[in-house]
Amino acid sequence: MPLKENLDVNDRSATARILATFLLPATLVSALPAQAVTPTDLLAGYRGAAGIAPAAERGRELFTTTHGREWSCASCHGPSPTQQGRHAGTGKLIAPLAPASNGERFIDAARAEKWFRRNCSDVLSRECTAAEKADVLAWLMTLKP
Amino acid sequence: MSTHKVRTPRWRLMALAAALFASLWFAATARADDDRAARRVAMLPKYQQECSGCHVAFPPGLLPSASWRRLMGDLARHFGTDASLDAAAAQEIDRWLQTAAGGDRRSRRDPSAPPEDRITRSAWFQREHREIATTTWQRPAVKGPSNCAACHVRAEQGDFNEHAVRIPR
């Protein structure tokens, strides 16, 4: 009987292991592609990571000035990102960045992160901090078309 | 009898003219079809999504595979900008580009890699755009040869036919 009990326990832990190994990651992965968020959710995430309150004015300044290199964020997105921008290198039109003007903006965490990574690298030669991302997003969210 | 002698050359002449016209017409449509070939190569959605953020998703057949491999191998330094992708996306796009590379008739004719792996520095590109003045390239709405869609109004759909060209003032 003790042997049987042991087996049962082993079966249960094996089941738990299988669940943990296969089902849990599967659930996480299936949750990843959508990652549907709102700009408010994203701002809350950056604010939480930064540990300080975002300031829209700091965000405006970061966005519209250069940081030792040729381009500012506004070079491509335009000084008022409620309007279309134009890529400084290729001339391609860029859809407005302000969430109020373009419902496609800041609704996908991975996409927002990818563009912050690339564009901060182009403008500041480094990644932006969570505080800087929060500032910029806070400013963009104040803009009305 | 004499009427026959007159008629036969006329028939021959007409047949010759018809044949000439037909061959010219076929050549013209074949060329137009070739221009539309890019559209027939279905774009990988990931390629379209990731690469058209900053420029037109260029038809993959316009560069040889060696050029695409080099470009995909250094996306963090992509013509002066950081175009880096996560490894999975980069691999998916790279694999697809390798299957579609060099497929255009222009690349097939001259499969060498253009300078800096720029489509716009290919001999065929410069030849086909030789009538465009420097001042035209410099117009604010154009900015340079990489902005296909400034003039090729259906470039986003992969249509570079010269009948769909509108050069902005």
A20 and A73 share a domain?
Answer: no
Residue A87 has pLDDT above 50, yes or no: yes
A54 and A18 share a domain?
Answer: no
Mean pLDDT of chain B, nearest integer? 87
A18 and A82 share a domain?
Answer: no
d(CA B138, CA B49): 28
| Residues of chain B positioned with their CB less than 8 A from the CB of A122 | 81-82
A112 and A53 share a domain?
Answer: yes
Contact A118, B81 (CB under 8 A): yes
A12 interfaces chain B, CB cutoff of 8 Å: no
Residue A24 has pLDDT above 50, yes or no: no
In terms of residue numbers, what domain contains A1?
Answer: 1-33
Q: Which of A8-12, A70-74, B34-38, B107-111 has the lowest mean pLDDT?
A: A8-12
How many folded domains does chain A comprise? 2
Q: What is the CATH number of the domain that holds A55?
A: 1.10.760.10
A6 and A49 share a domain?
Answer: no
A48 and A86 share a domain?
Answer: yes
| Residues of chain B positioned with their CB less than 8 A from the CB of A89 | 54, 79-81, 144, 146
d(CA B18, CA B20): 5
Which residue on chain B is closest to A89 by alpha carbon? B143
What pLDDT sits at residue B30? Answer: 56
Among A86, A92, A118, whose Cβ lies nearest the Cβ of B83? A118
Phi-psi region of B117 (alpha: psi -120 to 50; beta: other; left: phi over 0): left
Q: Which of A24-38, A49-63, A111-125, B154-168 has the lowest mean pLDDT?
A: A24-38
A47 and A117 share a domain?
Answer: yes
Residue A21 has pLDDT above 70, yes or no: no
Residue among A93, A104, A118, A123 with most chain B CBs within 10 A, to mutate: A118
A6 interfaces chain B, CB cutoff of 8 Å: no
What pLDDT sits at residue B18? Answer: 75
A125 interfaces chain B, CB cutoff of 8 Å: no
Structure-token pair, residue B80: 């002066």
Residue B9 has pLDDT above 80, yes or no: no
A80 and A111 share a domain?
Answer: yes
A46 and A19 share a domain?
Answer: no
Rg (CA), chain B: 22
Contact A106, A42 (CB under 8 A): yes
Contact state of A121 with B82 under an 8 Å Cβ cutoff:
yes
A97 and A135 share a domain?
Answer: yes
pLDDT digits (tens, 9 = 90+) for A91-142: 999 999 999 999 999 999 999 999 999 999 999 999 999 999 999 999 999 9
At B31, is the pLDDT very low, low, confident or very high (cuts 50, 70, 90)?
low
Residue A29: count of CB within 10 angstroms of its CB: 9
Please give the model's pTM, rounded to 2 decimal places: 0.74
At A30, is the pLDDT very low, low, confident or very high (cuts 50, 70, 90)?
very low
A14 and A59 share a domain?
Answer: no
Among B82, B84, B146, whose Cβ lies nearest the Cβ of A90? B146
A118 interfaces chain B, CB cutoff of 8 Å: yes
